[in-house]
Structure 1
Amino acid sequence: MFSNRPTPPPIAEATLAELAERARLLAEDGRRRILGVTGTPGAGKSTVTAALLAALGDRAVIVGMDGFHFANAELLRLGRRDRKGAPDTFDVDGYVALLSRLSAQTAGTIYAPVFDRALEESIGSAVAVSAEVPLVITEGNYLLHDAHGWDGVRPLLDEVWYLDIDADERRRRLVARRLGHGHPADEATAWVRDVDEPNARVVETARDRADLVVRVVPDHTVPSEGDSA
């Protein structure tokens, strides 16, 4: 579990296969562990967590932070729709409560929400987490953030990896992602500049709270994706 780190975390280059092995070792004793994968928007969180799940099979499950986005109607009511994805546009208390339940789970099934990028909305009770699954992988931008209630997340995570990425590549991925979801080029570029980039700067301030800073290097055994989260 989390403890205050007196020095910056180690920085490592690793392939997806090597990260999968580290995750496997984390859950080797069969007890429930929660692994956090964080980083700026576009850092590759979805690609890494998908690779971990593919490698670990039924010994792992992914529960994403993004499932706790406020609904668009609520963002409009709060006047935050144009800032969707900022730290104060999530149900943080709900996310912390779910992580607490997952950490303590010894029997039965707990259900988690998932965020549908095509709909731009969350879908409740979409991910079933059985007590028999030793590793819960949770990914998102603000796992290490310490404002707006996010400081309740870090103590519930057994290990956290921060994915490091070149800023230009990050922006390229983010624009490509929005284009892939049908947004016009000018809107995609403006959203990345005005929303994703400010959020990225917030995420970067928490980098040193991770257990490991990872720079993912090519792994020919697992394909990577160009529009990663």
Structure 2
Amino acid sequence: MSDILSPEDQHYLLNNLGPINVDEVAGNFNYNLFPEEVEQENDFLIIEDYKCEIDKTITPAPVTENVLTNEEYTGPYNFEVLIDPYGSKNAWVYSVPLNKVYMNMKIPFPVDFRVHDRPDFPLYIRTTPVYSAPQFAHENVYRCINHEFAPEDVQNHVRHHIIRCNNRLAEYEGEKSRNERLSVVIPFAMPQTGTENVREMFEFVCKNSCPVPGMNRRSIEVIFTLEDMSLNFLL
């Protein structure tokens, strides 16, 4: 695992989980992998610095900016993204001090969303992966070739996305063929009685260790933006 995690990440996991075996932490997940991928089966996917923001510029969907800002901005509706720090250690680990999630692929991961003084028009949430390191921030995040062409029952344009949402109304936007950023847009549902939060389940279908055009051992950030019914970023 040392060739995937930074010294800072390794230090956190050792201090909080003790000496660990990658197989024990990731679990025994038997994916339908191509032969080239078998040796990577238990690698971790590192999701770094979950961000919640409402961009200050109005930009039509899909996301096409060269470099997205990762500055946290809650906006007029106090948009919040919440992650449970006490998730199952066998599925994923969330570090509060590092603000990072360590997980394997195809593991359902819960994210809670909340706003205050909700407007009377529909809201949407866009989920966009970006590379954490500044030198790669301009590059779009795509799936590796092996996982892109793995057998699965999805539309062709969805195959390029590394993030999936189990919301049946999820829309997968952006085109790899046009060198666009890929993102997932879901309607922001009303919270159930007794809670202010709305929970959505996400999963990742590629790994940090996958070769180019995949992430190629680069950590990513996931940027959540709140949008209106026209899919414009709210001011």
Same fold (TM > 0.5): no
Tell me which protein shows more strand as a share of its residues.
2
Structure with greater contact order relative to length (CA < 8 Å, sep ≥ 6): 1
Q: Give TM-score scaled by structure 2 length.
A: 0.28
Tell me which protein shows more helix as a share of its residues.
1
Q: Give TM-score scaled by structure 1 length.
A: 0.28
